[in-house]
Amino acid sequence: MKSPLAPGIRLITSFSRDSWYRTFILFLTFLFYTAYHLSRKPISIVKSELHRNCSIVIRPADLNVTNNATWCDWEPFDQDNYQTLFGILDNCFLVTYAIGMFFSGIFGERLPLRYYLSVGMLMSGLFTCLFGLGFYWNIHSLWYYACIQVMNGLVQTTGWPAVVACVGNWFGKGKRGFIMGVWNSHTSVGNILGSLIAGVFVDSAWGMSFIVPGLIIASTGILCFFFLVEKPEDVNCTPPQHHSDQDSGEVEPLLQNSPRISNGAISSEPSSEVVEDPTEAISFCGALSIPGVMEFSLCLLFAKLVSYTFLYWLPLYISNVAHFDAKEAGDMSTLFDVGGIVGGIMAGLVSDYTGGRATTCCVMLIGAAPMLFLYNYIGQRSLGTTIAVFPHVAMLLVCGGLVNGPYALITTAVSADLGTHESLRGNSRALSTVTAIIDGTGSVGAALGPLLAGLISPTGWNNVFYMLISADILACLFLSRLVYKEAQGWCGRVPRVRGFKEI
């Protein structure tokens, strides 16, 4: 009598070869972009160590200093304008990142993604380590740290367009919102790990807070070179279906009656011909002309402004308001990213079920505005007391979900939808450019947010939060036309598409 297969083997064989490859690629790209964000986070943790309240720090007995107020600070951040200097460092990275992102997608469509990602991660690891080595080399020049930030911002642009393009090559539209919502938690996971790793070393040797993440992202670059598969066709897997089923009568409302794009240019001629994977990449203007790209790009500008202000300034805000040390403030700031994981997944699920990507984003952004006000109201008054920590934790989780949910949805599922829709006539090489345009525009907001926070924070943290609330409202306004079209679809005036098939 033949014995039955072991349960574990039955489980393994129940999945097809295509499913195993897709799961493997999803895991790899998750790991890669986790490393990208992990290497960005340390500077926000180290800020409160570079400029400290020296009056509460125990001074070594053998240390002879003349300035009791700044003896424990790291030059040049021992000056009164330290917040402005921190803002300069943030923007050296973010402005370069924003500018480079518009070109990164163009390069990503013309170069092998495996090589492009591998080199990008190796170079990012190098510059992250160089920032940390400034501690051991006793470097106190602002120019040194600023130049490192500029170069790191440039090489970090290799990440997002490439990983989204790779995932878009492997996954179709069916449950893209949910799949990419889960996958996009790499942003928050990277921020959390980056905070925790940096927090381990920040009080003793802050240079290691950069060197360890730098080595991690360099290691993932090597992993990418040996294992990344760019397209299903490369390993004889079945490519996904990127467009709606015309026989089912479901039509994407934002793209209905839209012009087709051929050879990188707009054409108004109707065509039933489907061209599979043209070799010519789409032009920048051609990608910009896809319906919905402009609206979602401008919305992301303001959504990312809010998210990145929290990314770079939340630990310092907690440290200033609650008088926590650098490690405690960094640990508490991770709650914002925990909320972001849940928010991203929920945004993907809801938008898949309703077919309303824009409406889902708008509702979450509207909810974020009053929550930001309440979070600041609670934090400014009694965060330092034990009893007030609990509502602060809850508000931080909710704010993280509402702020990062729309940001996650736009940069993943929306970008993939717009980069693979029917007007492109099967041109899979458009995805990287579309992603770069959307995230590049968002990165302008990512640069503006920390800059404005650095300029406004000396006037009071209340004003910083008013700026964030205004940005949330503006993000909603840019989606108003798309929300109206989706509402028309729900009222039956325009056919609509769902992430899940109608039952």
Say how far apart CA 470 and CA 458 lie, in whole Å.
19
pLDDT in the model for residue 101: 84
| Look-up of token digits 């996904």 | 240
Say how far apart CA 219 and CA 59 lie, in whole Å.
39
The pair of structure tokens assigned to 137 is: 């080399």
Say how far apart CA 183 and CA 413 lie, in whole Å.
10
SS3 assignment for 372-432: HHHHHHHHHHHCCCHHHHHHHHHHHHHHHHHHHHHHHHHHHHHHHHHHCCHHHCCCHHHHH
Ranges of residues in the chain whose predicted pLDDT is under 70: 1-2, 53, 55-71, 172-177, 241-284, 380-389, 419-431, 493-503
How would you classify the pairing of strands 260-262 and 265-267? antiparallel
Task: Pick the closest to residue 471 from 483, 456, 485 (CA basis).
Answer: 456
Say how far apart CA 144 and CA 16 lie, in whole Å.
52
Say how far apart CA 231 and CA 18 lie, in whole Å.
11
SS3 assignment for 470-499: HHHHHHHHHCHHHHHHHHHHHCCCCCCCCC
Tens digits of residue pLDDT in 223-266:
999 999 988 888 888 887 655 444 344 434 444 444 444 444 44
Tens digits of residue pLDDT in 82-121:
888 888 898 899 889 888 887 887 787 778 889 999 999 9
Cβ-based neighbour number of residue 208 at 10 Å: 19
The pair of structure tokens assigned to 257 is: 């009656």
Cβ-based neighbour number of residue 279 at 10 Å: 6
Report how far apart, in Å, the C-alpha atoms of 301 and of each of 125, 406, 437 are: 27, 11, 11
Cβ-based neighbour number of residue 169 at 10 Å: 25
Task: Pick the closest to residue 114 from 162, 157, 154 (CA basis).
Answer: 162
3-class SS of residue 368: helix
The DSSP symbol for 2 reads P
For the chain, the average pLDDT equals 80
Say how far apart CA 295 and CA 141 lie, in whole Å.
41
Report how far apart, in Å, the C-alpha atoms of 104 and of each of 83, 92, 108, 196, 284 are: 30, 17, 6, 30, 12
φ and ψ at residue 260, rounded to 5 degrees = -85, 160
pLDDT in the model for residue 224: 95
- All domains of the chain, ordered by start, with CATH? 14-53+74-237+281-491 (1.20.1250.20)
pLDDT in the model for residue 502: 35
pLDDT in the model for residue 394: 84
Residue ranges with strand state E in 237-281: 260-262, 265-267
pLDDT in the model for residue 152: 95
